Every structure is written in C-alpha cells, then in structure tokens.
Amino acid sequence: MDFDLLVIGAGSGGLAAAKRSARHGAKVAIVEADRVGGTCVIRGCVPKKLLVYGSEYKDLFKDAKSFGWEASEPKFHSNILLQNVRNEVNRLNQLHINLLAQANVELISGRASFADSHTIQVGDKTYSAKNILIAVGGKPTRLQIPGGNLGWVSDDLFEQQSLPKSIVIIGAGYIACEFACILAGLGVSVTQIVRGNRILKGFDSELVLAVQSEMIEAGININFGCTPELIEHHKQGYIISCASMGSEENISTTFEADALLQATGRLANLADLQLGAAGVLHEFNRILVNKSQQTNIDHIYAVGDVTNRVNLTPVAVDEGRAVADRLFASGNRIVNHELIATAVFTQPEFASIGLSEEEAIKSFGSDAVKVFSAKFRSLQQALPARGPRCILKLIVDIKTDRILGCHMVGSHAAEIIQMAAISIGMGATKKDFDNTMALHPSISEEFVTMT
C-alpha cells in the first residue's frame, strides 16, 4: 500500500484528520481538486464573516455621532472590501498548504474517484491506502425550475469585483438570511423570497421572529409564501416569477433586481467519487456512517458535510480528529452530535445551544418546562437610542432544574453562547447560573440574573 491513510478532500475535516494522523506517525496523503481549505476557508465561514464585519460599519458610523465623534460622510468602496477578503482567503489557502508540508502530509492535486475499495484514481495515476477517508464536503444547490441555472449561488458572490445596486435572494435559511443582512448593510437593496411563513426554520421561534423583525426594520423586503416558478434574465437584470402560497386564484408575483442569489440548500459532492467501485453505501445524497464515522466498508470512513449529519466546520474537524485517533492512536472517542452550539450571523446576531422552547415542550411537555427570558436594549445602544433589542432565553427542566437550552439575539451572541455551551454541556442547572456572580455592565450578565 502507498499510504496508511488517504484523505479525499482538503477541507476542514480532511485537513484535521490528515495532520492528526501524520502526527501519530502514519504515512498520509490528501487529494484536493480545488483549493486547500475547503468551503469554510475558501467560500464559506471565513470570507462571509469578514463581509459581516464590513457590513456593520454603516451603523457604527451612524452611531458615532451620539458618542461625540464627528466625521465627513463615509464612502464605501465594495471593490476594496471584496479584494481584501480574497487576499485573506489566498493567505489562508497558502497557510494550509504550508501546514500540510510541515506535517509531512503529501498533497495530491486533482479529482479523486474510487478504482476499488483500497485504490483511488487521480487523473492517470492510482494510489492505494490501507484506510481511506472521504471528506469532500458539499456544494450549493439550484432550483429545479425553468431558469434555475441563472444567477449566483453563495460561492459566486465571493468572486464579484463589485456589488449590485439591488438583489433578490431566494431562501430562508441561515445562508440566505446572513447574505441578506450583509448586502443590506453594504448598501444593496435586498428583496428576500421565502417559501414558508418565517425564516430560519428549526430555531427558537420567539428569537427568530425578533431577528426577522429587525431585518425588515433594516429595509430588507422579505416576501413570505412565495414559491419561485420561473427565472428570466435580460439586459436590466433578473425577473423572478413566484406563485403565492394559499392563493385560490394562483396569483403570480414577480420580482426584479440587478442580481440574483439562490440560497436554497446544499448537497454532498458525491457525483464523481464512483462510490460503487468501492462498495460504499449512500442514500439521499449522503454517505451512511456509524458512530465511529465508519462506512459499510470497514476501512473507509467519512466526515463532515458528506454525511449530512451536522454540517458545521467544528463538527467536521472533531470527526476528522476522532477518526485519526481511532486509527493510529488506539482512541475510541465518539463525537457528540447531540449538543452543538450554532450561530447565525444576521444583524442582529443569533446564537443557540440545546433545545428551543418548542423542542423542549415537544420532548418534555409544557408543564415540565420553564422559560426564563430578558429583553432589553444594550448599553451600547443607549446613546444612539436605536438598534435591535437583545433577547436572552433559558429553557429549564422543572424536575431536574437542568438547563435544556440557551439562546440569544444581540451583539456578540456567538461569543457568549460558546462559553455558555461549556457549562450546559457539563449539565449546569438554573441554580448554578443563579449562584454565579454577574459581571456588570454586560449583556451576558442577564443569563445569571433572570428570575
């Protein structure tokens, strides 16, 4: 065999597994058809978060006057922001290449496919390995309607040289909502098309409605109950025709804009892998794995979005490291997929750990759950006398006093919930929070003073 481990895909999960395995003394190679870093680094979390930071300055400039700062009217140059973001992505891409070299991991450039269960084909070359890890990630989907091939998906937005004056965004998930807030903050006129009656399905509804309200207040035109049926492109831009939900007369509504972003979901990159040649089972566009990330072929593993369990970068990283430890360091740790903090970088920011109020009531019953919440305007917004109100929420099991869920809308929500996740993961109770001295003045102190 050429390698102890051959990793397909140099994204977050693949990189983590490759470097950890090499550290354990394994001979490792990693195959990548695109740029090293994967979705998160190249066209996802990192460049998106940089755009989030850039989009926040409009309101910061506006609020500065309340704190005594006076300056000429600021001017935004979208081409500078977009280029600087690409420069940072390029730096990180090279950094990850260097880290692989330092770890003695061989980087093979090209698109991999299985020749058999131990052999990978890359171009006109073949490579064999005792163990193979599939970490190819996912890609954005497009609507299967006439004109569904038109417009951008999220990958395309990062490659633009400038921003449009107006855009229609199709979708209600976190990608659609985050880009709606980013682009609105950067001065783009945003129209969002939502098939259902709310955004961010699956999150706590009270906090979602608060985010939704603030997005509308910020000028984002959210249209609910609209199902896209046709996309057309002409010299002036795009026309999107939608059917209105619940309309007995089948009323069609049209939306026009300079640009179009389809943010309707993601699918695993399975098409070119030739999984059948290795006998790897998959269904519903995901590779089936057990708790140890093992496929039905005992020496082939899969991590990250390709398994479609929890499609988050830290999860893929942890899964990759767990596989490496299991294979080359006698580790037996199982990744916990049950309690994972998550954030939506809308404006305002939304972060969550554990059960929503609806999920807790469904699991335990309304009489077994107590909800504590606080709503207020942060001190930072006191002088400007504007901006979104913070919402903090704890879901508590009455019988055990254990905290089932912790949720927040407001500035730095992700940073705060990350720390809360530690205590909740350790089984913290409401009494534990109550017995913690508040840090004043802060937003997070409300979590330990709720009554």
- Please give the positions annotated as active site: 440
Tokens of 297: 């072929």
Classify strands 119-122 and 112-116 as parallel, antiparallel or unpaired: antiparallel
Cis amide prior to 441 (ω within 30 degrees): yes
Residue 147: name the closest of 66, 229, 91, 225 by CA: 229
**Cis check: omega of the bond before 47, within 30 degrees of 0:** no
How far apart are alpha carbons 284 and 306 in whole angstroms? Answer: 11
Q: Could you tell me which residues are beta bridge partners of residue 31?
A: 8, 108
Q: Please give the radius of gyration of the chain, using alpha carbons only, rounded to the nearest integer.
A: 24
Residue of 450, 446, 441 whose CA lies nearest to 380: 441
